[in-house]
Amino acid sequence: MIITNNEEALRIKCDPVLLEEVGSLISTLENELSNANRFGAQGIGLAAPQIGIAKQISIIRLGKGLNIDLINAKIEKGYDPNIFKEEGCLSFPGRVEDTTRFQEVHITNNLVYPYSFVATGLLAVVCQHEIDHYHSNLFFDHKITKPLLNKPKQNPNEACFCGSGKKRKKCHQ
C-alpha cells in the first residue's frame, strides 16, 4: 500500500538494490502502481520508499511501451532548469506544487552492468522525482512560491530565482 501524507515515513535513506531483489521489487511496484491507477490516482511512477521499502528502485510507466526501471540510479548531470507546473506525488494525493526541475538529465542505472541514458521533458521530471525518493527528498522540497514566479522586475544580471546559479537572462527570460 502506498504511504500517504506521512512526510516522516517518506524521508528515509535507501540502500542499494541487490541483483536478486530486482525481479520481486519491480513486480511489487507494478502491482502497487496498477492498484493506485485502478482507484483513480493516475500515477506514472512509483519508488520503493513510497511503499515502505528502503531500497533504491523505482518504476516509470508512461504508456505507449515507455517503461523504465530505475535501479540504484543516479543523476550525473542536469541541464536547463525550468519551472514544472503542478508536479504531484501519489504519496500526497491532491497536492500539487510548481517546482524547479531540469529539462534534461543524464542518468546512470547501476546494477551489474551500469548503463546511462538521457531523459528530457516529462520523463526527465519523473526521473528526478523518483530518484529524489531514494535520498529522502520530496517534490515540494523543489517548490517555487508564487511571488517568485510573478517577480517582474528582476535585474537580468542577478542570479535566477529558480536557484540554478545562472544569471536570470541566461536562465528564465
Tell me, what's the pLDDT at 98? 92
Confidence of residue 15 (pLDDT cuts 50, 70, 90): very high
Answer yes or no: are the C-beta atoms of 91 and 129 closer than 8 Å: no
| Measured torsion, CA atoms of residues 153, 159, 162, 165, in degrees rounded to the nearest 10 | 170
Catalytic residue (one of 21, 30, 130, 158): 130
Reply yes or no on whether the pLDDT at 149 is more than 50. no
Q: What is the mean pLDDT of residues 143-156?
A: 60
pLDDT per residue over 24-59, tens digit each?
Answer: 999 999 999 999 988 888 889 999 999 999 999 999
Rounded Cα distance between 120 and 111, Å, is 23
Q: What is the mean pLDDT of residues 79-108?
A: 93
Residues with Cβ within 8 Å of 110's Cβ and at least 6 positions away in sequence, in order, are 16, 71, 72, 73, 74
Tell me, what's the pLDDT at 148? 46
Tell me, what's the pLDDT at 118? 95
Label residue 64 left, alpha or beta by phi (over 0 means left) and psi (-120 to 50 means alpha).
Answer: left
Tell me, what's the pLDDT at 93? 92
Place of cell 512509483: 46
Tell me, what's the pLDDT at 160? 66
Does domain 7-142 fall into CATH 3.90.45.10? yes
User: What's the grid cell of residue 25?
Assistant: 521489487
Reply yes or no on whether the pLDDT at 163 is more than 70. no
Instruction: Confirm whether 32 is a catalytic residue.
Output: no
